[in-house]
Each structure stands twice: as C-alpha cells, then as structure tokens.
Structure 1
Amino acid sequence: MGKCMVPPWQVRGKLRAIGLALIPILFSLQGLPARAGSPEGGGPCVDPAASARAVVSIFWRFGAPRRDGWEEIVGERATAWFYTSPRLLVTAAHFANELPTDGWQEAELRQAVREGEPEVTARVRLRVAVNGRLSGRRDGGAGRNAGLADDVAIIELQEPFPHATVLEVQPRPPEEDAAVLVLGYPGGRMEAAQGIVRRNGELAARYAGLALFEVQGSNRLLLGGGASGAPVLDCGQGRVVAVLNGLLTGPALPFLPPGRVIPTPWGSPTNTAVPASALAAIRNCIP
C-alpha cells in the first residue's frame, strides 16, 4: 500500500448508529437532522437549498446480514457531497473503510432538493478512490484517537449523478465563534443544522487536528445517526470548512436506563469535524 491508501482499523457500522467508545466521552460516528436559524450573535446563514444538490445520502448493503448480539445489521448509511466533479464524493473514511476494495460496488444514493419535495433515489456503482488514514489502537491510550484528523475519503461513481452540483472548499480552518451550517441525511432524510465553532482546551487536546462546534437549538444530539461525511459550511460563503465525523456526548448517569445518550453541557462542543484542508493531502492521490 502506498501512502495515499493506508488501510485503517475498521469501525463496525450499523444502520441505527455507529460509534467509538472514547472515555470519558462517547464519539459516535454517523448521522444528521436539523433546524436552521440565525447564528449566535450573527446574521442569517446561507440558504441550505443552495447546496442541496451537492449533498446525498449514501447507503451500502452488506453481502450478508451481520449480527451484533440480538441485532441484525444489513448495511451502512452515511452522508456524502460532490467534490470537484459529479462523479467524486467526499465522505468519512470510517464509512468508506467498510466498502470492499475489489472493483465497483453497488450502492444507493438519495437526494432531496428541499423539505417536502420528492427525493431522487438512484442505484449506482462506486469505488473508493482515496481513503484517509483513520488509524489508531483498540487498546486505549494516547494512540486511540490518532488519525481521526484524516477521517475523510473520496469515492468515485462509475457514472455522474444527475443534476449534481459541487461544493467549493475553504482551505483555512474555521475560526472560533464562526457560524456554520451542516447539511446531512439522518436515516436517509435531508436536514440542516446551524452551529457555532467552539474552542475547548481539554477536547482540543484529546481530538487534536479536529474542528469542534456546537449545534444551535434544543436538540444537541441532532448530528448523530447517518450524518458522517456531511459538509460543514461557513455561513458567509457556503464553502466547506470541515467534514463531519463525530458526535460528542456526556458520561452516562447511573440513575438513567443503560444506553441512554447524554448531551454535552450548553456552551460546549457537540460535534467534531475534519478540517477541509485534509482533502488537499489526498486529492492528488486520485487515480
């Protein structure tokens, strides 16, 4: 393997959820729902509909169902967006890692132009063109989060997606308190969520190289369950500043039922994302 295609440790996917248990914070991967409004202390954000044709839900079905205890897992779902061409999609590497590498694979793309309108569903053939270096260790320690800052992948479609538009990329990392907009597909349904870039010393050290932001609104767990790979756009120009790859949650509480997910406190980050500058490192590796 060359340095452009490093096989990372794989994160097992589920249709309902996918995650990495990182202590003391759960870092779940996938998802997206939302309501867009005015950012904290700022003006209106770009219209989500302007970027709708550049973002899709992507679903890949396993060759055979997998079992996780009593649960049957039939495939994986994530979000992806068109990058430089209607044939190239950016998504999260932890999703792309599950795709077979032996040639073209069948998958399903879904896209809605705006809420309430019919979705376009297309069966496509695709392959992983370039995968980031999502690497780490399963046994904990400092290396556990290593490579999350490279959790991006580029997927190639065999045929261009109809009426697709591409998103422009902002190579500079988002600044603190900047307003952002996330477009994604939780459970295959398009939603948009606004957020604010946050700085947190402890989390910044734990997730070095990642951008941190807080979803605005009452549903702090909004971006978790199908949104991995979603574009994080700057509210001013609508350019991609980062690629969504994680949900941050608080520690479990002993008086709540097992498995209950707890949001992070108000004023703290709710999600992590890979800065869009990571794409520059792998773009030249596209065959």
Structure 2
Amino acid sequence: MLALFVLLANTQVIPAACIDPAQLAHSTVSIMRHFDDAERDARPNLIGVRGTGWFLSPTTIVTAEHVTAGMKLSMEEWKPLEIADGEGSHFIAARIQRLAGVQAEKLAVIELEHAVSAARSVAIRREPLVPDEQVIALAYPAGRLHPVGGRFVRFGDDGKLAGMALLEFYEGENRLVIDHGASGAPVIDCDGRIAAVISNVFTQSIVWASRQIRISTAWGMPNVVSVPVQVLDEFARAD
C-alpha cells in the first residue's frame, strides 16, 4: 500500500513539451485520515493513513481504492479528512461516494461535506496511453507535492495486472521516487489531461550487510502500476 503508516539514461526531467506542473496548481492534494484512540487500539503506533488525491469537482476527490480502505472510510459515515496542497490544510468530513473499475484495484470517489473553494478540476483523457508516451505524476510523498516525469510502457495482460497501465518513473538514480504517499496520484499527459491514477510499485527486498534494502525494477522496465482513468467514464455509462 502506497500510504503513510506515522512508487536508458540515468537522468529524469519533465520533458519541455509537457505541461508545466505549475499550471495544475490546486488540482491535486495530500489527503490524510487521522485515527482516533479507538481506531488505534490494535496498532497504537499507527497515527493515520496518507495518500494523494485529485479534484473531480470542488466536492469530490478521486484516489486509489486501497487508500480509502486503509483510511477506513465508508459510504455511510462521515469522517474527518485532512486536505492539504502546500498552501495550508484543513479538515473536511468525507465519505466514499462510489467505486469505479473492474480491475483488482479500483478508483474511489470521495464525497466532501462541503466544497473546497480553491479546487481546480483537470480534464480526463478519453483515449488510452500509447507506448513510450511521456507523462508526469503529481504525487505527495511525505505530504509534499513532487512532480515526476515518466513514460507509459504497456498495459498489463495477466492476473492482477490485467488492464492496468504500467509506467516507468525515476528521478536521477532514484527509481523509488514514486513510493509511500503517492497512491491516488494523477498521471497526466503532455496536454494536461489525467490518464491514470497511481496504485502501486514493483519492488523487492534484499538483505545486505544485515540490512533489508528495497530495490526497484531494471532500467527500461515498468516500476509503477496505475488504474486507467477511463474507468470513471465506464461507471457513468453503466449507471
């Protein structure tokens, strides 16, 4: 789970032809659910769960389903959610409005009890990504906005990866720049449209000098798993 419990050349920059992340201000936020004492009984050191989300409208935020599951959000009960975008944070009562998708990982649409006045919605891409297409991700690792450039590799075709958009993101030598706190982050094409939503990363752990070290995939291989955003349209058509 890419959530907070307190995802070629070896350089990576956002291509000049892609949209400037500054143009997407107030579209993506850090979201965090702080647990109360009763919820922390089983794990006293777990203060909450953090992820990334983006505004579908001033009263709705989209993220990965496992983020809302980790936050213990439901469709019935309103619970306080901290929403932050670098210019401050505030708490708004929230609940799950709906889930979308048929893959192992779905998208969750979070309903807010009242609108966020500064919220900005971004266009949704209707067509699928194509191999080697350049993209950027707007993620909140450690609760701070961090735009990262990357590329679409291919769609998964087997098991839990079937239908998922597989991407390669890195920054310099860091192939784990998309990691904890990035779940729910929008993957945006160079026209500024949201194409997918980050769900997970490919990693494995090795033991070196008595330490456990997480490593990513090989260069040129996908290292990030995402849900194609078109599942939101599919849900609307099903309704």
- Contact 1:56–1:79 (Cα < 8 Å) also in 2: yes
CA distance in 1, matches of 2:238, 2:210: 47
Displacement of 1:101 in angstroms is 3.6
CA distance in 1, matches of 2:3, 2:124: 28
- Is 1:105–2:104 an aligned residue pair? no
- Is 1:52–2:25 an aligned residue pair? yes
Out of 13, 23, 37, the residue aligned to residue 13 of structure 2 is 37
Displacement of 1:90 in angstroms is 0.4
Higher strand share: 2
- Contact 1:107–1:123 (Cα < 8 Å) also in 2: yes
Greater shift in the superposed pair: 57-66 or 172-181: 57-66
- Is 1:253–2:206 an aligned residue pair? yes
Cα 1:177–1:107, aligned 2, differ >3 Å: closer, same or farther? same
CA distance in 2, matches of 1:172, 1:282: 16
**2:117 alignment counterpart:** 162
Cα 1:246–1:284, aligned 2, differ >3 Å: closer, same or farther? same
**1:186 alignment counterpart:** 141
Out of 91, 98, 118, the residue aligned to residue 130 of structure 1 is 98
Cα 1:15–1:253, aligned 2, differ >3 Å: closer, same or farther? closer
- Contact 1:96–1:131 (Cα < 8 Å) also in 2: no
- Contact 1:86–1:160 (Cα < 8 Å) also in 2: yes
CA distance in 2, matches of 1:165, 1:12: 24
**Percent identity (aligned):** 31
- Contact 2:3–2:180 (Cα < 8 Å) also in 1: no
- Contact 1:109–1:123 (Cα < 8 Å) also in 2: yes
**2:108 alignment counterpart:** 153
- Paired residues in the alignment total 230
**2:216 alignment counterpart:** 263
- Is 1:220–2:188 an aligned residue pair? no
- Contact 1:194–1:215 (Cα < 8 Å) also in 2: yes
Cα 1:38–1:204, aligned 2, differ >3 Å: closer, same or farther? same
Displacement of 1:282 in angstroms is 3.0
Q: For residues 228-279 of structure 1, what are the alpha-carbon distances to aligned partners after superposition, in whole Å with 9 as ceiling and x for unaligned?
A: 11100002x1100001111111x33344545421111100011010001111
- Contact 1:125–1:157 (Cα < 8 Å) also in 2: yes
**1:82 alignment counterpart:** 55
The Cα RMSD (Å) is: 2.5
Q: For residues 114-144 of structure 1, what are the alpha-carbon distances to aligned partners after superposition, in whole Å with 9 as ceiling and x for unaligned?
A: xxxxx2211111111002468xxxxxxxxxx
CA distance in 2, matches of 1:284, 1:49: 33
- Contact 2:2–2:180 (Cα < 8 Å) also in 1: no
The alignment partner of 2:158 has SS state of helix
Q: For residues 115-174 of structure 1, what are the alpha-carbon distances to aligned partners after superposition, in whole Å with 9 as ceiling and x for unaligned?
A: xxxx2211111111002468xxxxxxxxxxx622xx201011111112111011002221
Which residue identity is paired with 1:227? A
Which residue identity is paired with 1:58? I
The alignment partner of 2:175 has SS state of coil
TM-score normalised according to structure 1 size:
0.73
TM-score normalised according to structure 2 size:
0.86
Cα 1:173–1:50, aligned 2, differ >3 Å: closer, same or farther? same
**2:128 alignment counterpart:** 173
CA distance in 1, matches of 2:128, 2:226: 11
CA distance in 2, matches of 1:155, 1:66: 26
The alignment partner of 1:213 has SS state of strand
CA distance in 1, matches of 2:154, 2:119: 34
**2:65 alignment counterpart:** 93
Structure 1 spans left out of the alignment, 5+ residues: 1-10, 17-30, 113-118, 135-145
Displacement of 1:280 in angstroms is 1.3
